[in-house]
A and B are shown apart, each in its own frame.
Chain A
Amino acid sequence: MAQEVLAALSGNIWKVSVEVGDKVEEDDEVFVVEALKMEIPVYAPCDGTISEIKVKKGDAVEEDDVLAVID
């Protein structure tokens, strides 16, 4: 079942740590969001394979935006 990776808070995408097709485990770092000069990791909500990445480095994101999809 597909699960979405959501931004935990608003900020800018500082780093995309995975690529489409990568296997991830729950709690692996998937993105790093920068807010107020702090780098805050976003973790995978479940095990699976990254099937889609919706943002790139430097994008501004709002809280709860979908950043990627894990299958």
Chain B
Amino acid sequence: MAIFEHMGVFAVTPGTVVMWLISLTLIYLAISKKYEPLLLLPIGFGILIANLPLTELMVPGEGLIWRFYHYGIEWEVIPPLIFLGLGALTDFGPLLSQPRLIFLGAAAQAGVYVTFFAATSFGFTLEEAATIGIIGGADGPTTIFLAAKLAPHLLGACAVAAYSYMALVPIIQPPIMRLLTTENERRIRMKKGRKIGAREKLFFPIAATVVIILLVPASAPLIAMFMLGNLFRESKVVDRLTDVAQNSLMNIVTIFLGISVGATMTAENFLRKDVLFIFFLGLVAFIIGTATGVILAKLMNLFTSNKINPLIGGAGVSAVPMAARVVQRLGVEADKKNNLLMFAMGPNIAGVIGTVIAAGIFLTLLK
């Protein structure tokens, strides 16, 4: 009879079944709707296996997935490696040619802070509130990085919220951006900035590393790797490293990231009232971030003759390049020859850096 006690099938609880359904939903969304499939597919599968009873996959010191999680995420290895790849994929040109657009990327971080204060007032601890707020940056690796340090028990929920909202950028953002702008504003065609030389692009990652890390040392792991990846790219002498950072390395760590994040979402960890709340607050953070970016662009227009199309303010959240694509789409809707894509990449990239700095500030203040 002992064999029955060791069969998982008799240890299934209603909670685990609910988690299976969540897992299958994510897998379905990833495959058939193509919602961030590179992440939601391994996350979905991770959830499934973490909720098969008696597997010991997540038992500290023993389980396979626990090892991925421990050495990859708790040791802060994977998110910085992803940032290395993102840096290698990033062209700072659009940002450097119109530096004033940095402010739009900064403005969108308002969502992070507003939600932080809102979450504390709803009874979350400061550490939990910071992790929830950072969802508003819509930046997966940064959310995971911060959650692992401040609120590991919320990591799965916050990561899934961040990646879901990234996938839903094309649905969540347009109504807000339309609401806050007039047809004429959406038609504004922006003047091109100056051309950026190769040397400027080469010096930028080095200078930015020094300045940002001197100001916010806690942001160093992510910023340093991001700028190193960018330096690979702009140096033009290590194409092999640029390529591996952008592609193979990023793909490899994405597998371990996805499955580990999914495996943190066990029934007892995830099926709680506050998780619903986290999704709600994360969404609020994201909406506020989008709105503040657009509003700041409109404010800046009051003081300049070189008008900014306020749509690009919506790209200040760091979902790269989804948010910039949304801007392009809405711009073309108003005027088919209005190409805002590259202008929107400026605040979009500033938004990534902004979210990392916001996370660094939280770490400095709360650790």
Contacts and interface: CB of A to CB of B under 8 A. Distances in A.
B339 A40 contact: yes
Given A10-B342, A63-B342, A38 B328 contact: yes
A43 B336 contact: yes
B344 to A, nearest CB: 10
B339 A8 contact: yes
A35 B192 CA distance: 17
Interface in A10-51: 10, 27, 35-38, 40-41, 43
A9 interface: yes
B336 A38 contact: no
Interface string B336-358: 11010110010000000000000
Interface in A44-69: 63
Contacts of B192: 63
A35 to B, nearest CB: 6
A27 B192 CA distance: 21
Contacts of B342: 9-10, 35, 63
Contacts of A38: 325, 328, 341
B interface SS class: helix
B321 interface: yes
Contacts of A10: 342
A37 B170 CA distance: 14
A30 to B, nearest CB: 12
A9 B324 CA distance: 14
B325 A36 contact: yes
Nearest to B325: A38
Interface string B1-40: 0000000000000000000000000000000000000000
Contacts of B337: 8, 27, 43
B339 A9 contact: yes
B324 A36 contact: yes
Contacts of A36: 321, 324-325, 341, 345
Specify which of A27, A35, A37, A43 lies most central, judged by the most chain B CB atoms within 10 Å of its CB.
A35
Contacts of B328: 38, 40
Contacts of B345: 36
A37 B332 CA distance: 16
Specify which of A36, A37, A38, A43 lies most central, judged by the most chain B CB atoms within 10 Å of its CB.
A36
A19 to B, nearest CB: 23
A35 B336 contact: no
A40 B341 contact: yes
Interface string B93-127: 00000000000000000000000000000000000
Interface of B: 192, 321, 324-325, 328, 332, 336-337, 339, 341-342, 345
8 contacts: A8-B337, A9-B342, A35-B341, A36-B321, A36-B325, A36-B345, A40-B339, A43-B337
Q: Which 8 A-B pairs have the closest CB atoms?
A: A36-B321, A8-B339, A9-B342, A9-B339, A38-B325, A38-B328, A43-B337, A35-B341
Given A40-B328, A43-B337, 15 more contacts: A8-B337, A9-B339, A9-B341, A27-B336, A35-B342, A36-B325, A37-B321, A37-B325, A38-B325, A38-B341, A40-B332, A40-B339, A41-B336, A63-B192, A63-B342
